Structures are given as structure tokens and as C-alpha cells.
Structure 1
Amino acid sequence: MYRFLTIFLSSLALLCVSNPSSAQSSKTQAKTEQSGDILFKADDLQHDQKLDVVVATGSVEMVEGERILRADKVSYNKKKDLVTATGNVVLMEPSGDVFFADQVELTGDFKTGIVENIRILMTDEARMAAVGGRRFGDEQMELHKAVYSPCRGCGNASETPLWQIKAFKVFHDKTEQNVEYRDAFMEFLGVPIFYTPYFSHPDPTVKRRSGFLAPRYGSNSILGATLETPYYFNIAPDKDATIRPILTTNEGIVLASEYRQRFSDAEIVLKGSGTHGTVQNGDKDFRGHLFSSVRADINNSWRAGADFRLTSDDTYLQRYDFDEGDSLKNYTFLEGFNGQNYASAQGFFWRGLRNADDPATMPLIAPIIDLNFINPVGKSDAQWKLDANFLSLTRTEGTDSRRLSVINSLELPHISATGEVYHLYASLQTDAYYGSNVKDNSGNTSTGFTGRIFPRIGMDWRFPFSRRSGSTTQIIEPVVGVQFAPNGGNPEKISNEDSQDVEFDETNLFSRNRFTGLDRVEGGHRIYYGLHLGSMSANFYSDGFIGQSYRVRSNNDFADNSGLNDHFSDIVGKLSIRPSSDLKLQYRFRMDKDNFSARRNELSANAGPPILKFNLNYNFFDEGSGSGEFSDREELSYGFSSQFSKSWSIESSTRRDLKLSNTIEQGVGLKFECDCFTMKLNFIRTFTQDRDVKPSDTIFLQLIFKNLGEIYTSSDGPKT
């Protein structure tokens, strides 16, 4: 700001001295002058030769690049070396900040000055005001009786802001990039709620700086009262760390930390924690975890990465609120892209955290290599595809498997002149296996080589029709497909590792192999058919599908309740309806082909305007559905939310297991949100238990102050 005034007013003085006749005129039309990079405009220019004072009055405007200064009057006293701007002084900075003042005085070399009644509108629409201010050189500024608030929409403009900070003195040092406050009060709804004789923070130009972060308070039925005081280390522009000591009254100190570093083409993140806490048998021992993530771009085509997730025991992460998952996945990968072609090499290892998980049976997959190539054939849309896969899977106890699989396929899409869409295909899958301790259907184990050659040929056909009636478009699309393949194709010596979980629904009705992986193939001749219906307009939407498949011979490779093992498959479909913006329904189903009883039902509904909106989710899976591993599952989730004012909202939810007639979780939340402040108050009651993780009631309170930070506290007690 002051640099601009110096340059401009110096140029103005030179202009006025060199043109005294025009400068002395008491009344002239508006004048525009330019000197170097500065453009100047005023209604009147005067130069008093005796006093050696240059005065510009009437809509004075100075422009230097993207910086603009406006005032009613600007004067330059050459003898006193004093510049004064008065009356509606406005300075618009290139950054977007706008400064307002009643009067600005600059002395000396224009680097020191005094400002009266300064107001600042920042780019994020936060506001600051002060009775007065002083500038010392280019790098230091002091404000007296200053007020700061980012609030503008939490009340009427004439009212007191929702919250604001008042300080008797604010000192800004640009060299140190620091802002200091003396005798500062924080007011909420006009009431002082916090006082500190001194505090400081980095100025807006600082992106990162070492220092304490906002603390978090809480109460836990297992850990007792907790206090987390994070400290951030700005090690270098490319690396930082956060240390999070967590003090607990029951379990002592938990030390958590995070380290991040970026390179020109890579990044690494390390997270971990540790404590000497109580283990399941009641003794004290080390408990902790370490998570790491690495990503690297090797060049424009190749990238690599790795994630490792380690923990001392099964319940540590959930007990100390670091993670809620029931398994940890460790993996590495290398992948490359070239047009439509893709190559990858990966490795996987899982650790199960459930009580029934046996580490000895967890597989180690290293490596699994995939190669996918697509090449056009001739000048038509025909394509030749090659998919190759190599896998090595080992266990401490149980079956080991090595696999090499190659699938060659020819794709021939075609759209007729009448709009019919055809897709012909032919493929040949060749697999070679070496298995150890592979169990057959009789329970006997074997070790050795095996393999298969499995061809497929088929065609998909669909014929979409559409009709427009007024503003509504209606769609009807019959879909039919046929596939020919040999029966069988799944020798008992091939261990089924990646094709156990089969979920038959409308999304895979037309899949060439409805097993999820490569270890199992779907043999036999079959036909599949379905009907797609839809209707769309500006305010209405509906979409539906129903379909089924028929095979010449039944397939015993699928589980009894999979819906795919008989000649006719189960009937699958979906229905989505949105009659208005306040109502949305979606239903997905699988019906028994013989008696049309439900094998799977999934229903979701959202109804109501923002003032009162209800939600419902219902899921039912018949016994043995899919892979046949689970019994009947039936679950219901329901709740509501209400935006009962511009800033206030409330929500509630319940999740129940209908088969066991048990409640799994309940929750209710209250939220206040405006442009400068957010408050979240939540109550959650859990009814599940896993060893030393007990059912509990938890209260969370989070207060977020724009541009300042957040306050977080929680209280967790045993369920009563």
C-alpha cells in the first residue's frame, strides 16, 4: 500500500511541477495523466508555488498495475515531505483485499505513516477494523483497538457478529511473518468468553509453521479422561511431522505421530502410535500400530506404491479409536499405462482382526501380474484383446496355488441401420496351475500340475426404442444374449481362491463369466434375456430392469442358493423412481424362479423436503445366498433429518438386526452451521462387543471457528 502511494504521489508531484499552468487552475475538467506505469485521474489539480503543495481533489483515482487507490483529496507537501489522503480513502490490492480509511498520512520516505479509522475487507470476506494504525518502514504495522471477525451471514449486518476477537494492540511483522495480539478478548454473541494477555499466530502469507495445534478433550469408559495436545513440526518445505501425545487417566500416555514428505515425483506418509497399556489378560504390555503409504511416479507411463498396516494386536486400533476396520491390507504395486493397454504387478497380505481369524490360513499373494492389451483389427470397430495373469499364493497352513492364465478374445461390435446393437465375441482361455494341498470334493488333498483350455463364443443384442411425449421421453429396450461354451471346465485340482463370493444380480446377468475371478469358469450353453424400461422428464425419473438366464444343463459349480445352478436362473431386477426432488425410491431384488419368493431384497427410500426428510434402508439376503457362507441376513436402517432453520439441523438414525431382533447402533446429532462457525453435537450408542471393546455411549462435541481452528471433545461411557 505505502509503496504504491510513494511511487504515485512522487509522480504526481513531478507532473504538477512540470505543468504549473494547469496545476494552478482552480476549476478545470477531469484530467487524466500517465507517468511510467502509473495512471492518475482527478477532477481538479492545484499547485501552490509558495507553500510548494500539490493538491488533487474530486474523485482522485490512481492506478498502478492491478492496485487502485481512490480518495476525495490527496495532497503532497514537498517542504514537509508529507502526503495526506482524506475522504473515503479506498485501496484495492491485487490480492483482492480492500482497505478503507478516513485519513492516511505518510511522512519521510513514505514508508512510515499513520492511518485513522481503518477497515479491511479480506478476500475471504473476513473483516478487520481499528481506531488507528501506524506503519514502521515496509515491514511492520501496528493497529490500536482492533476488531476481527470473519462472520457476515450469522445474523443481520447491523447486529454484532456471532464471534469476534478484540485486542487493544495488534502488531504485524512481515519480516518474521507473525501477528501478535496484546490484551485480546474473544466474544461470542457479544459476550466475552475468553481473555489472554498475549498470543500470536503466523500471518496469512505463511502456509506452514511449527507450533501447537488445537487440543482435543474427551472421556472414555476404558481410557478415562483424555487430553490430546498435537504439536506440528515444519521441518522443511518438502517435509513435516506432527506429534500427538494423548494423556489418559486409566492407561497413561499414548504417543501418536505422523510424518509426511514429498519429492518431485513421489510422496511418503508414516503414521504410528504406541503405549504401555493393558492387554486382554489384564497385564501391561506394549501396544501400538504403524501405517505407511508410499506413492511414486516413475515416468509418464509408470507408477508404483506400497501400503503397510501393522498393529500389535487385534483390538488395539478400535480400543484407542485409531481405526474401525476388521482387517488390515498390506500391498505393493507397480503399474503402467499406454493408451488402452495396461500392465501391473502387485503383492497382497491381509491380517484379520476378528476373533475367528486364523493368521496361519491368511494368504500371501506375491506376485500377481496382469497384462491387458487391446488392438484394433482392420478398419472396422473390431478389436483383439489379450488378458494375461500370473499369480502366486501361499499360506503357512493350507492350500498353495500358482496360476498362469491367458485369455485371447475377438470383439465385433456393430450397429445396424435400424438401430439394433450387436456385439459378437469369441475367446479362448488357457490356464496352467500348480497346487499344493488342494482339497477335492471328497476331502482328499493332492499336489501337482493341472490346467484347462476353455473356449467361448457368443452374441449380445439389444434394440433401444424411445418416444417423446411433450417434455417426457420414454425408453423401452429388449436385451437378449447367447453364449456357447463346453460343459464343466473346473477340475477338482484347481483351488478356488478368487471365485468364492458370487453375488448374482442385474449387474452381472450378462457377464460372460459370473464367477468373480479366474479360478472358476462358467461352462455350458446359455441364453439370457431382459427388458429395460425408462421414463424421463424435467421433474420425473424412473428406470427399471428385469431379466433371467437359461442354461441347457444345470451347473453344480455354483452353490445351491446362488440362483445360477439350475436350468433357469433366479429372476433379477431393479426399479428406481424419483417422482419429485423430495422423493427417491430404489428397489433391487432377486426372486426364486419357482415360487417368486424373495432371495434378496434391497430397498432404499428418501422422502421429504429439507425441513423434514426421512430415510430407510432395508437389506435381506436368503440363507446361503451367493457363496453359501452366511445364514439369513436381514437388516434395517432408518432415520430422519431436519433443516429446521437456515443454520440449524438435526438428524437421528437407528440400525437393527431383524434376524436377532437386536439394535446394532443408534445415533442423534445436532448441527449449527453458518459462514464463520460450525457446531456439531452427536450422541452414539453402540451395542456390539469384540473382546476388550465393549458397548458404549459416546458424546462428541466439535466447535469449528473459521480461520482459527477447532475445539473437539468427546465423552464415552459404558452403556447402561
Structure 2
Amino acid sequence: MIKYWFVIFAALLLPFCASYGEEPTTTDEKPSLLLADELVYERDFGLIIARGNVEIYHQGTRLFADTVTYNQTLDRITASGHIRLTEPKGNITFLDYAELTGDLKQGFITHIRILMTDNGRLAGESGERKKGIESIIKKGVYSPCALCKKDPTKPPLWQIKAEAVHWDEENHNIIYHNALMEMLGVPVAYVPYFKHADPTVKRRSGFLAPTIGASSNLGTVIALPYYWVVDDQTDLTVTPAYVAKNQFPLLLSAEYRHRFRRGEFTVAGSITKGDRVERIDPSNMQHKDRFRGHVLSSGKFDLNSRWRAGFNLERTTDDTYLRRFNFLNLSSRTSLVSKGFLEGFYGRNYALVESYSFQGLRANDVGKRTPMVLPMVSYNYLSHPGRFKEQWSWDSSILNLARPKGDEMQRLVTIGGVSVPFMSPLGDVYSVGAKVRGDFYHSTQLRNSPQNITTLDSTKGRLFPQLYGTWRYPWVRPSSMTNIIVEPIAGFVMATNPGQPAQIPNEDSHLLEFNTYNLFSESRFGGLDRLDGGSRVNYGFNLSSLSSTYGNTNLFLGQSYAFQSPRPYLSQTGLDKRLSDYVGSLKFNYKTWFTLKSRLLLDRKFLRARRHELYGRFGQPILNLESIYALLPSLADDPDSRKAEQVSFALNSQFHENWSGSITTTRGLGTGSGQLSQGIGLNYGDECFVFSTTLTKTFYRDRDIKPGTTLLFRLVFKNIGEIRQETSIFRPEATDKQTDKPGLSIF
């Protein structure tokens, strides 16, 4: 059928109005458009009737219907049959019948159904549209849940029914009068008045879900957060909490956030009053009646296109505060790091100025012995490839390290070098390079070892040249089912072996983890204070098998040989002999059924694992088993370090499109070890509702942190809110003097 385009108000209605003796008026509004299969004009009655696939467009609003009648005298549109109204904001309204004003902003509607921009659905028997910004719906129903595909007549997972629903689009509110909430069609709650934000609202001031609960350590806990939207860039959340068993029953926490045009800033913290737990020793365990609290703050600011500045501030009054008041959601922190930085980017070059302060939360951390970096300045330069693809580099850093009590250090390090890669006509790949490093150290109150009480002040310099290179030659054997890649790798490092002079402290190189990643590196230490001296050769091979039928496998095995006797500080690293231990890794995956990843350090004589990290997963989403195993040796430089061995298992199941569950357990292995934690979890999630619950039990103890059981319960109703519950039941050991009964915590 032939369709007709008409400009109603500008090209059609105004001439008709003029024929009735009215003067045409000018307007800045854009004309409306009409599209229909058939158009009839009843001049005597002042009616324009459009039939068949009618479309009307007016100022961003579109009306679709089978039949539309426009009454010029009343300026009213009547629509019927498959009515659909789309608005500029994205909401879509479906109707059976509508009487609207000519601008489509006011009128009466029946059997209304609204699909919102966030997929929320609002329906009712009848309604009224006012000024284009208000909708009043009688006997309304709201839900963001999708209907059952097999039986759409079934009620959604949850819905809100109300005697009247008022959608105030100007103030962005959806208001319910005499509202009843249903779950699977069963009424579960009634409120005479209920309000929530419409889909256009991203942030709004108001009270958030409260925290209500109790525990044997804290007693009754009641917290009511209030969220305040200060302006478009700023918000503040203030949470007063009543803690019954705290010496001062009020704990106040707050979070302030502000976003700038070129940066952002946030600060959060809490404060209360109570007894601090400082030491494990029962004779000096508590400090009475002290202020306790914490502060976390961060900021990042773009100064211009090249320079950026920022900071991080993390502090707490005592070690166990964050874990004791676990409803602050910071109980997993074992250390706090504060820093400030200024960084610049110039092509391939990078400059950084930063300062650090640390606070350890472990029982053996000593605050006065903890170092502070005030400051560290570094600059890294990397040239573009030259004529022979050579690249020149220059790295320099200045460090000032101080302590409230103990040794201090100033350090200047400069490293210059060049590297050249090339490939031979046979396909093997080479890379050779050279570096020269110069250091200058000034130290005060330096001790040669933790056991030595004698200190000295010193100034020391050193020069350290290195020459290094690597060679690799990949061989590929392709086939229709499996591609095999064999790649031998070899490298060398030539340098002097100066050791560690007594006048130079070691602050950043206590840990050396000899592994597949640093086997061919010219420096295997993570820091700068210790030199990885001596000459050595490194060798290994990569073996890969790629197959869509049998899965993908990658195996690497390597070793190092040193020409000089290793230094004492390489003890227990796998490099304590000229011929090192073996480093290896294994990766295997078979489609989505099986995954295995392993990294290990093998004793060179007996091939026993000295360090081993293993991850495995077997199964499908319907049922799969995950396991993580870790064996870590003690550190030679750390007298508090101990060999650690731990294994964990997790049985997971996605037994339904929306349901999943898991069972977990973690156990420490070796002498004196035992069960660390156990847990079970159940989760449900769909487009409108999230439910999750976990039950975990821990067996460790740290000062006032006792073994216990925690139940976490969480409900999320999309667009409405969230209910989150955590239950903590502490079970003191038989020798503990605590007599409080197990309690309940809801967080």
C-alpha cells in the first residue's frame, strides 16, 4: 500500500486552522510528522483520521497505532489498536486505548504497560498522563524480572503491587500507595507508602540498608548509613554504629568522595574508644581506654598531558582494629601502605618521585623499625632502535630511607646499557647487551646482622659492569592433528662477583625466588641493594604441543651454572651451589574439561620439590573440582620465616542456569599444621534478583581474633535495594577465660 507523509502542524493543520478564520501563528517548535496507510480528512467535523500502520513523530516522541483520530477543535488525539509510545528518554509504553493532547503529553490511557530503560516493567489497568512528566497508574504492578518463557502467565520472581503508582519524572521518583510485595506470587510484605528512584537516577541522598546484629566479641551492633549527594561531583556517606560491648558504644565511620575535572579524591575512616590489644604477651596485652580508628584516603590528579600526581594514605591506631570491627569490610588487610607520587611521561621515557610509609598489622611487626622512603626519585630512558636495531637505556634513582629507630640510608644508583637483537638466516634468535652500574651509599647506625648490636656509619661506592646474551632456536613440526614446537634456549652473564660489603645495607633484596621467569635475567633479585654478581651460563628448553584433539601442553625446564662459588646469602634459594637446582613449569589444558598449571624448584640431586605451586581444575560447570597447593621454603635472611605448605580444595557446581554452589577447605601441611578454614556456599542470580549465602569456619588465632564461624547472607532486589547479613559465632578455646555465649552478626 502507498503511504503518505504529512507535516501536520506546519503543512496540514495550520492551513485548516486558517480556513476557520484563525490567524496562523509562528512557533519555534519543530513540526510533527505523520505516516499512515490511509488518511481521511472530515472537514465538517474538524477530524483527521489515519488508519493502518500509523506513526506520529512529535519532538522526539513517537506514537504507533492501528488507528489515530485527531480532533482539531479539541486538539486531542485518540488512538486504538496495538498502541506503542516511545519517548526520547528510551521508555516504551504499550496501550490498548489512549486519549492524548496534540503534543502527546497529557491524556487518559487504559491497560498500560511500560518498559523502562533499565528493563524494569510497570503495568496497570488504567492511568493518566500529565504535562508529559507524570504518570498515575491505577492498580499498578512493578517488577524488573523477566516472565517465564514457557508460561508467561506465571507471576515473576518478585513484584510490587499497589493501589496506585505515581511516576514523577520531574523529580525522578516512583511512588507506591498501599503496596504489597510478592515473591513467586506469595505476599511477603506490606507498606502503606513506598518510594524508589526511577531508572534515570544514578545517585540519590537517603538512608541505606541498616546493619543489625550481635556477636560474642561486639555484642549488639546497629549501624544506619546515610548517603548524601552533595553535588554532581561530590558525595558523603556517614554511618553511626552502636556497638554494645565496646567501651564507648558509638563507632562513627564516614566516606567522602569528590571528582575533579582532572582528578579524584576520596577519604574514609572511623573512630571509637576502647581497649587496644598491642601484644601477644598476656602480661602486657591491653592498653585501656584509648581512641581506636582508621583512615583510608587516596587522590589522583592529572597536572597536564605529561605529569600526574597522587597519594595514598592508610593508617590505623592498632593492629587488630580492622579485624575486630569486621563490619567495616577491611578485615583482610595485613599491612597498610601510604605513599605520595609525582610521575611524568615523555615518549619512551618515564620519571617518578615517590615517598612511602608502611604499617604492619602482624604480631611480629615493630613500628619503630619499619622503614620510610622519603623520597625516591627515578628516571628511565629508552632510545628508539638504531641502525643495527640497538637500543640504549639509562636508569637512575636516588633513595632516602629513614626509620624512627634504627639505621638510615641514602642511595644513588645509575645504570647505563645497550642491547642488540638479531636473527640469523637459519631462524635462530640472538640478543646481546652490556650494562655498567655505579652505586653510592651513605648509611648511619648500620648493623651487619640483626643479632649484632654494634652500629657504624659509612660511605661506600661500587662499580659493576655486566655483559649478557641469550640464544633461542624454535623448531616447529606441524601436522593435521598436533603441532609440536621444540625451542632450546641458552644464555650467559659475565660480571665480577663483589659480594655484599658490610658498609652497604640490604633493604630491598631479601627475597630471591629463582624461577622460570628470571632464569635468563641478568639480575635475579627484585631490588637494587644486592648485586647478582658472578659469571654464569643458563640453559633450558621449551616444549609445546598444540592440538584441538588432545589439548595444549607446555613444558619448560632449565638450570644455571655459576663459574664462581655462590655467596652465602644465596642459601636456600636453589643457587647455593655452582650447579643450580632445576626450575620448571608445566601447563596443560584439555578443552574446557581440564586445566593444570605448575611451577616448581627441584633439587638437583634427588629431584625433590623445594618450592612448588600447583593449580588444577577438572570438570564442567555442572560439577568441577579445583585445587591449589603451595610449598614455600623459609627465607635465609628472615629469622621469623618458616617453611610453609598448604593445600586447598573447592568443589563447585553450576547445577542450574541461575543456581550455583561450592564447598571449600584449606589445610596447612607439615609439622604443627592443621585445618585453617572450611566453607560452603550457595548462590542464585538472574536479571532482577541475587541471593548468596556462605558458611565459613576459621581455626587460627591472633591476639583478640579468635577461631569462629561466619555466615554471610545477601539479597539484592534490582532497582529496590540490598539486604546483606553476616553471622559470626566465636568459639573460644577451653583455656580461654571468655564466657560470652555465641552471638549473631548481621552485616
Q: Does 1:693 align with 2:705?
A: yes
Q: Does 1:448 align with 2:445?
A: no
Deviation at 1:217, TM superposition (A): 3.0
Structure 1 residues 268-307: aligned runs within 5 Å:
268-280=265-277, 281=286, 283-307=288-312
SS at match of 1:561: coil
Q: What is the CA deviation profile of residues 356-405 of structure 1, one whole-angstrom value per residue up to 9, with x for unaligned ones?
A: 21111100111111110011363231011001011111112222111101
Q: Distance in 1 between matches of 2:491 and 2:383?
A: 24
Deviation at 1:195, TM superposition (A): 1.1
Q: Give the counterpart of 2:223 among 228, 248, 258.
A: 228
Q: Does 1:422 align with 2:430?
A: yes
Q: Does 1:382 align with 2:366?
A: no
Q: What is the CA deviation profile of residues 329-373 of structure 1, one whole-angstrom value per residue up to 9, with x for unaligned ones?
A: 111111111111111011111111122211111001111111100
**Distance verdict in 2 for CA 1:626–1:586, change over 3 Å:** farther
Q: Distance in 2 between matches of 1:65 and 1:382?
A: 63
Q: Which residue of 1 aligns with 2:738?
A: none
Identity %: 38
Q: Does 1:669 align with 2:681?
A: yes
Q: Which residue of 1 aligns with 2:198?
A: 203
Q: Does 1:316 align with 2:321?
A: yes
Q: Which amino acid in 2 is paired with 1:127?
A: R
Tell whether the 8 Å contact from 2:264 to 2:300 is kept in structure 1 after alignment. Answer: yes
Q: Which residue of 1 aligns with 2:186?
A: 191
**Distance verdict in 2 for CA 1:36–1:404, change over 3 Å:** closer
Deviation at 1:37, TM superposition (A): 5.3
Q: Does 1:259 align with 2:256?
A: yes
SS at match of 2:457: strand
Deviation at 1:302, TM superposition (A): 0.9
CA root-mean-square deviation = 2.3
Deviation at 1:718, TM superposition (A): 1.3
Q: Which residue of 2 aligns with 1:239?
A: 234
Q: Which residue of 2 aligns with 1:78?
A: 72
Q: Does 1:175 align with 2:164?
A: no
Q: Which amino acid in 1 is paired with 2:715?
A: L
Q: Does 1:468 align with 2:478?
A: yes
Greater shift in the superposed pair: 526-535 or 281-290: 281-290
Q: Which residue of 2 aligns with 1:486?
A: 496
Tell whether the 8 Å contact from 2:116 to 2:199 is kept in structure 1 after alignment. Answer: no
Q: Give the counterpart of 1:519 among 488, 504, 529.
A: 529
Q: Which residue of 1 aligns with 2:487?
A: 477
SS at match of 2:620: coil
Tell whether the 8 Å contact from 2:10 to 2:31 is kept in structure 1 after alignment. Answer: no
Greater shift in the superposed pair: 501-510 or 658-667: 658-667
Q: Distance in 2 between matches of 1:109 and 1:40?
A: 13
Tell whether the 8 Å contact from 1:704 to 1:711 is kept in structure 2 after alignment. Answer: yes
| Structure 2 portions without partners, runs of 5+ | 1-5, 20-28, 278-285, 733-747
- Give the TM-score normalised by the residue count of structure 2: 0.90
Q: Distance in 2 between matches of 1:421 and 1:561?
A: 33
Tell whether the 8 Å contact from 2:8 to 2:33 is kept in structure 1 after alignment. Answer: no
Q: Distance in 2 between matches of 1:189 and 1:12?
A: 53
**Distance verdict in 2 for CA 1:195–1:448, change over 3 Å:** same
Q: Give the counterpart of 2:561 among 550, 553, 557.
A: 550
Tell whether the 8 Å contact from 2:415 to 2:436 is kept in structure 1 after alignment. Answer: yes
Tell whether the 8 Å contact from 1:502 to 1:627 is kept in structure 2 after alignment. Answer: no
Q: Distance in 2 between matches of 1:46 and 1:391?
A: 87
For these two proteins, the number of residue pairs brought into alignment is 700
Structure 1 residues 601-620: aligned runs within 5 Å:
601-620=612-631
Q: Distance in 1 between matches of 2:532 and 2:391?
A: 23
Q: Which residue of 1 aligns with 2:696?
A: 684
Q: Which residue of 2 aligns with 1:32?
A: none
Q: What is the CA deviation profile of residues 568-590 of structure 1, one whole-angstrom value per residue up to 9, with x for unaligned ones?
A: 11100000111231110112111
Tell whether the 8 Å contact from 1:121 to 1:128 is kept in structure 2 after alignment. Answer: yes
Deviation at 1:283, TM superposition (A): 3.8
Greater shift in the superposed pair: 653-662 or 495-504: 653-662
- Give the TM-score normalised by the residue count of structure 1: 0.93
Q: What is the CA deviation profile of residues 646-703 of structure 1, one whole-angstrom value per residue up to 9, with x for unaligned ones?
A: 1111101111111223111111111111111110111111111111111111111100
**Distance verdict in 2 for CA 1:249–1:396, change over 3 Å:** closer
Q: Distance in 1 between matches of 2:439 and 2:145?
A: 66
Deviation at 1:619, TM superposition (A): 1.0
Tell whether the 8 Å contact from 1:42 to 1:56 is kept in structure 2 after alignment. Answer: yes
Deviation at 1:177, TM superposition (A): 2.9
Q: Which amino acid in 1 is paired with 2:387?
A: K
Q: Which amino acid in 2 is paired with 1:681?
A: T
Q: Which residue of 1 aligns with 2:407?
A: 399
Q: Which amino acid in 2 is paired with 1:376?
A: H
Q: Distance in 1 between matches of 2:110 and 2:508?
A: 75
Q: Distance in 1 between matches of 2:309 and 2:713?
A: 40
Q: Distance in 2 between matches of 1:688 and 1:546?
A: 38
Q: Which amino acid in 2 is paired with 1:358?
A: V
Greater shift in the superposed pair: 218-227 or 186-195: 218-227
Q: Distance in 2 between matches of 1:258 and 1:633?
A: 38
SS at match of 2:135: strand
Deviation at 1:418, TM superposition (A): 2.0
Q: Distance in 2 between matches of 1:673 and 1:661?
A: 37
Q: Which residue of 2 aligns with 1:3?
A: none
